[in-house]
Amino acid sequence: MRTKQLRVAGVLVATFAIVLSACSSSATTAPSAPSASGSAAAATCPSGSTQIEVQSWWTTGGESTGLQKLFDAFNAANPGLCAYNAAIAGGAGTAAQAVIKSRTLAGNPPDTFQVHMGHELLDTYVNLSGGSVLAPLDSSVIDPSKFPAGVVSIISGKDGKIYTVPMNIHRANVLWYNKKVFSDNNLTPPTTWDEFNTTAATLKAKGITPLAVGDNGIWAYGMVFETILISELGADGFNGLWTGATKWDDPKVTAALNELKTVTGFINADHNSLSWDQANQLVIDGKAAMTIMGDWANGDYVAKNFTGYGWAAAPGNDKIYQALADSFPLPAKAPHPDAVKKLLAFMASQQGQDIFNPYKGSIPARIDAGNPPAGQQQYNDYQKSAMAEWKTDTVVPSMEHGAAAAPAWKSAIEAALTTFETGLDVAATQTALAAAAKDAGF
């Protein structure tokens, strides 16, 4: 009896130890990650060199390769300087962003870091009650005449100065489709949302999911809503949503929500348990006909060796290029400001952009880039077509990817859409969207 009690007690002590270790390990993983990866990357720098810590959330695939190629070229051209990628994985960048913000608050920022261009940058770091925590960039670093006006306006603070270097451009409003499904059913990609509704009804009647959405993060659903808004409002009207010129209680926003309600009836039933790439897989497998996603989907098709895909602007989005970009700013308290300026100038140059972007699957933000030197990775067909459109299309910002609205406003819009997706209450959602704009100061 006695020994049995002891044994049970032993089991209990062991279980408590497990509980404790489980608690402590989950608590320590986040803060320990940056130092671990940072020191590992810094180890590749020669001793005595000035190490430029670049904090990103690019840890794998073409994006980390592209960044490394960029650093290799920069480090070779600048003896004594060594840029390295202090990457933090996880949560599509949210883990890295939390670390960067904490470090900035503590007055110990990295030399430069990855941040979405637009209001995510401006409203987090620049337009603050206590003044910018970033330093403005002069023309020796970035030449604004080489970037489209739509980009320059959302990398400039209220003082008109430029605060970040956009590295790349991704397009958000693209319709991807399975060519075989469309040809088997004698269909063509819809160019308006009315056409979409007809096409989708045909597909649904044949047991094919018309539109694949993977919104276990609500942003994928938000991107569909944005393309409908662009279609209803046009480029100027859509831009006006983010400046107060277009009101969120506008009848056209009502129409957009009604269309979103219709579209929601055409998406896969398991949408909220899938990620965007799992939804993409439905298109590859022919179980779904279309998906609306940013052009990183192109990289997903390439990586999965699938060639039977086609692309078009999202319905009603022709000649409008909804852009998002990763960019790199100069923190006011960066440890090595002069070295960072050299790196940023290289990132803003034609050469730097053409080294990085073929790997990343995006296109250069500079309008005069697009010709990587021979012997380097070249742009693929999708990228070439996107570059042609980038030079001629009207540029509008992406809300879901930080360009159009402040983070808190985006969260409020996402909260309204999250509720809308399950209840499909157009009037209540529009009220919530209008309230969100009011809270954001518009």
Partner 1 sequence: MRRLTRDRLFAIVLLAPAIVAVTIFVYGMIAWTGWVSLSKANDLSFDMSWNGLANYESIFASIRFQIDLRNLVVFTVFFVGISLVIGIVLANMLDRKIRAEGFFRSVILFPMAISFIVTGVVWKWLLTPTAGVNVLLGLDPASNRWFTDPTVIHLGTDSPAGKILSDLGLGALASTEFGIPVALFSLVIAAVWQMSGFVMALYLAGLRGIPDELREAARVDGASEWQVFRRVILPLLTPVTVTSVIILGHISLKIYDLQQAMTKAGPGFATDFPSAFMWQTAFTDNAFAKGAAVGIVMLVLVATLIVPYLAWSRGQETE
Residues that bind partner 1 (CB under 8 A): 1, 4-5, 8-9, 11-12, 15, 18-19, 22, 25-26, 94, 97-98, 101, 104-105, 123-125, 128-131, 133, 215-218, 269-270, 272-273, 407-408, 411, 415, 418-419, 421-423
Based on CB atoms, which residue is closest to partner 1, 80 or 91?
91
Q: How far is CA 151 from CA 156, 323, 324, 427, in A?
A: 9, 9, 9, 34
Based on CB atoms, which residue is closest to partner 1, 9 or 303?
9
Based on CB atoms, which residue is closest to partner 1, 380 or 418?
418
Based on CB atoms, which residue is closest to partner 1, 167 or 274?
274
- Cα 173 to chain centroid distance, Å, stands at 12
Shortest Cβ 105–partner 1 spacing (Å): 6
Cβ neighbours of 237 (radius 10 Å): 17
Shortest Cβ 44–partner 1 spacing (Å): 30
Based on CB atoms, which residue is closest to partner 1, 6 or 77?
6
Shortest Cβ 91–partner 1 spacing (Å): 9
Based on CB atoms, which residue is closest to partner 1, 4 or 158?
4
Shortest Cβ 18–partner 1 spacing (Å): 5
- Cα 250 to chain centroid distance, Å, stands at 28
Shortest Cβ 191–partner 1 spacing (Å): 31
Shortest Cβ 340–partner 1 spacing (Å): 19
Rounded to whole angstroms, the Cα distance separating 71 from 425 reads 50
Based on CB atoms, which residue is closest to partner 1, 202 or 431?
431
DSSP string, 42-61: HTTSPTTSEEEEEEES--SH
Contact (CB, 8 A) for 17 and 9: no
Based on CB atoms, which residue is closest to partner 1, 42 or 95?
95
Contact (CB, 8 A) for 314 and 213: no
Shortest Cβ 217–partner 1 spacing (Å): 6
Shortest Cβ 24–partner 1 spacing (Å): 11
Shortest Cβ 8–partner 1 spacing (Å): 4
Tokens matching residue 422: 């399950």
Contact (CB, 8 A) for 258 and 229: no
Shortest Cβ 285–partner 1 spacing (Å): 13
Based on CB atoms, which residue is closest to partner 1, 103 or 252?
103
Helical H segments across 265-406, by residue range: 276-284, 296-303, 337-348, 350-360, 381-392
In the chain, how long is the greatest CA-to-CA distance? 85
DSSP string, 166-214: E--BEE--EEEEEHHHHHHTT----SSHHHHHHHHHHHHHTT-EEEE--
Q: How far is CA 75 from CA 68, 90, 128, 338, 387, in A?
A: 10, 28, 34, 15, 28
Based on CB atoms, which residue is closest to partner 1, 130 or 207?
130
Residue 399 C-beta-side C-alpha neighbours within 13 Å: 29
Based on CB atoms, which residue is closest to partner 1, 186 or 422?
422
Rounded to whole angstroms, the Cα distance separating 285 from 274 reads 15
CA angle 384, 315, 214 (to 5 degrees): 85
Based on CB atoms, which residue is closest to partner 1, 109 or 358?
109
Shortest Cβ 309–partner 1 spacing (Å): 23
Residue with tokens 């009848």: 251
Instruction: Give the residue among 213, 324, 360 at the shortest CA–CA distance from 277.
Output: 213
Which residues, 6 or more positions from 390, have their beta carbon under 8 angstroms from its beta carbon? 148, 169, 171, 321, 323, 363, 367
Contact (CB, 8 A) for 177 and 310: yes
Shortest Cβ 341–partner 1 spacing (Å): 22
